[in-house]
Structure 1
Amino acid sequence: MPSKLEKNETIAIRCTPLADGGVTIGITLNHTLMDGEGLFTFVRAWGQRYSGVANEGRLVINHDRHLLSGTGRGSQRPHPAIRIVPPPSGETIPISQLPATTQHAFHVSRKNMSKLKALASTASEKSATDPPFVSTIDIVTALFVVLISRARGHGQDVRITTGVNARQRLDPPLPTNYAGNCVFSALSAYSKEDLQPETDSDDAGINPATLIKLSRQVRTSILELDSEFLRDSIEFVAQQEHLSRVVVSTKYILGPDLMFTSWTNMGLYDAEFSRTRPCYAGIAKVPFLDGMVVIAEAAKGVDGLDVLVFLECAAMQRLKVTCEQVSHLQD
């Protein structure tokens, strides 16, 4: 991987030939330039050009920034998922002085996913305020909110930011070849009582009714991001004097909160370079990151999902032990 972006760089790419004739492609980019789907769209277009696809049949990248520009009318709603931070003091803490973090991919097989999805059918009758459905990703998110919160051991209420790809939520929707950043933040909150085990000796035990309750909270927060709300979010951000001071409101790094994003159905393995597709696509080793979870398709040829968790080392070790005991994650 390119180690970092130099001044004025927005993207850096390093290609490394392998002894078996393959190649690795490492991409480092400024996240304000592209989100996950934007990156994979870019790589598909790159692959088509490399493969000699004729211009008329080639994917053309759309990066029209005006599609997500404010109108100047100003925001009309509160946006609790976003906060404005003070100007930087100029002092930064070296990574060497921070607690060590690590990352680990927890595999959720198709059989595991079926078990989790089946829980939805066992839930009690919905109230009028409940969402019409919960997805498998919602349930996986809720499960790991519980497990990670227990592994951290803080015993506090937890808020989570869920990254939402808004391309098809906007009206009109963005072009399918849009390669910018269109991720918005959904915010949901969970009480410490719902996150704790029912007995002191059973960290792996999770009440199905509680899991469905938390899953519904995840889905409700996502459904709140309709086109009107998204456009108002754009107005809120556009009226800020310093965009670099606009951040998510959750304290997920070395705090009680969490950040979730999903890379499913984004075409991770769709790029083709001369009839060759990737056997693995994912995030490289990150020197320091805590409280972040990326849900993605499993490696090519493996069914299910990989839940990539970034966590402080001691908490990660506790999480690994607990996950080995969770019945929903056993085949």
Structure 2
Amino acid sequence: MSDDYEPCAFDQVTFRGYISHLCCFPAQGSASFASTHTILRKGLAKVLQDAPFLTGWVNVASINPQWTTVTGPYDVDAVDDVLEFADLRGNFDYVAWREQRFSVADLLQSQQYAFPTPEVYPAPVIRARLTLMDGGATLAVWFHHAAIDGSGAARFWSAWAAACRGEALEGGLALTPRYTVPAGLKGTPSLHPGYDPHPEAGGRPPSVTTRLWFSDDRLKALKDKATQDAPTGGWVSSHDVLAALFWTKLAPIMGRPDDMGLAVIVNARARLDPPLPVSYIGNCVYAAIAPAPARSLSTAARAIRTAVSSVDSARIIDFAGLVTHAGTRMYEAHRRITLDGPLLVTSWAEMGIFALDWKDAFGGARAEHVLHPSFLRPGIVIVLPKRPGGLDVIFGQEQRFMDQILRDDDFMQYASWQSGYKPE
């Protein structure tokens, strides 16, 4: 089809589902949201006009039925298909929900936030929902991960807010140029641990999801502990140390202290040579694997930093060649979602959603909280967009393991439970 985008190797290795963000806005007065839907709709219409592919669909690629790509039709006038509007004033109390620490479970149980099954093709590239409540509002966007990654989602949010201010995001949004693998490159499997081109089929155990808060003070204390234990071990980031905390605690709890690695999702755009343009919002991520065992916090943090630092242009290009040569349903090959795979940690901390200026769309208010409006599979940890004072982290795990880590005093000295599952 002439309106199909060329399939991209990086789009084939992601989880085939929706990345979702739900922003919470407090009311600034009785008339705070009088024009919210109108302003958001107008802003979104401008974004869709500038980036028509956002109105398209994730579909099976014509060149390979195991791959997907973005296809038309692209209807830039279909803003009301992309943006759903729900007025729950009189039926849902935002202030009371805030007092419950923005419990995702409460929201999902009382409201429908489900969109089409990601693997029933064609699946929409994006969908959004504005919900007005007593005392506040929420704005949620679902991004199909076979088309857009977390960095791409951040640019979309920035573009929509800019359009609501009557401005344009510098550089815009694009799905081109698509990354092209050098001819004949087959890739080297040994360079990409944790990747299996022939994964065994298998189910996943039931999971529970919880959300924790790590204050800046506690994160500093955690990093101080890691660096004091190994003062000459080299620089590590706060993200390295936070991931190391989950890794070193969960591995023994799950009975896997010697064989559970850790996968850290790395934004590979700027690491490619030449780098992809800032306007590109398609997938360009790589799972850096820190191998087991990692007995101490400091050792684990350094192992994570070493794994992340190893991701250079040559490794990314080699991986793209490996994916292209295999030609299978590569997202299944990421063993992070199987019982014997590594723990997966990904971070949306630097998305900048809290800093976005929506002008009058929400009566002058900016987002006061950002949630992930869904439940997680076991073995996934997501650092949510950073808000003033610290970080929210959500993670999914089997209940028996979640009970143990949430009762671990050494772990919980750095974390405060916010919402979701909690041991009785």
Q: TM-score higher than 0.5 here?
A: yes
Partner of 1:148: 250
Partner of 1:260: 345
Cα distance between partner residues in 1 of 2:409 and 2:267: 28
The Cα shift of 1:154 comes to 4.8
Partner of 1:205: none
The Cα shift of 1:121 comes to 3.8
State whether residues 269 and 279 of structure 1, in contact with CA within 8 Å, keep that contact through their aligned partners in structure 2. yes
Structural RMSD (CA): 2.8
TM-score for the superposition, normalised by structure 2: 0.63
Secondary structure of 2:323's counterpart equals: helix
Letter aligned with residue 8 of structure 1 = P
State whether residues 194 and 342 of structure 2, in contact with CA within 8 Å, keep that contact through their aligned partners in structure 1. no
Partner of 2:404: 318
Which residue, 279, 283, 287 being the options, matches 1:185? 287
Find out whether 1:226 has 2:312 as its counterpart. yes
Which residue, 371, 385, 389 being the options, matches 1:282? 371
Letter aligned with residue 281 of structure 2 = A
Cα distance between partner residues in 2 of 1:162 and 1:283: 19
Find out whether 1:291 has 2:400 as its counterpart. no
Partner of 2:139: 25
Q: Return closer, same or farther for 1:180/1:322 CA change in 2, 3 Å cut-off.
A: same
Secondary structure of 1:146's counterpart equals: helix
The Cα shift of 1:279 comes to 1.9
The Cα shift of 1:44 comes to 1.4
Which residue, 109, 123, 134 being the options, matches 2:215? 109
Please list, as runs of the form range in 1=range in 2, the aligned pairs for 1:238-249 lying within 5 A after superposition: 238-242=324-328, 244-249=329-334
Letter aligned with residue 109 of structure 1 = S
Letter aligned with residue 281 of structure 1 = V
Cα distance between partner residues in 2 of 1:248 and 1:118: 36
The Cα shift of 1:256 comes to 5.9
Cα distance between partner residues in 2 of 1:249 and 1:291: 12
Cα distance between partner residues in 1 of 2:258 and 2:230: 27
Find out whether 1:69 has 2:180 as its counterpart. yes
The Cα shift of 1:290 comes to 0.6
TM-score for the superposition, normalised by structure 1: 0.78
Cα distance between partner residues in 2 of 1:256 and 1:235: 22
Letter aligned with residue 212 of structure 1 = S
Partner of 2:67: none
Runs (5+) with no aligned partner, structure 2: 1-112, 417-424
The one-character-per-residue Cα deviations of 1:238-294 (angstroms, maximum 9, x if unpaired) are: 22223x2354543444446311111121223244333543222231122x5110001
Partner of 2:224: 118
The Cα shift of 1:30 comes to 2.1
Cα distance between partner residues in 2 of 1:86 and 1:7: 23
The one-character-per-residue Cα deviations of 1:68-118 (angstroms, maximum 9, x if unpaired) are: 221223145332242213697xxx86xxxx643111122211111111222
State whether residues 323 and 329 of structure 1, in contact with CA within 8 Å, keep that contact through their aligned partners in structure 2. no
Q: Return closer, same or farther for 1:139/1:40 CA change in 2, 3 Å cut-off.
A: same
The Cα shift of 1:180 comes to 1.1
Partner of 1:198: none
Secondary structure of 1:82's counterpart equals: coil
Partner of 1:272: 357
Identity of paired residues, percent? 24
State whether residues 134 and 215 of structure 1, in contact with CA within 8 Å, keep that contact through their aligned partners in structure 2. yes
The Cα shift of 1:216 comes to 0.6
Cα distance between partner residues in 2 of 1:253 and 1:241: 20
The Cα shift of 1:125 comes to 6.2
Find out whether 1:2 has 2:114 as its counterpart. yes
Cα distance between partner residues in 1 of 2:205 and 2:408: 21
Runs (5+) with no aligned partner, structure 1: 196-209
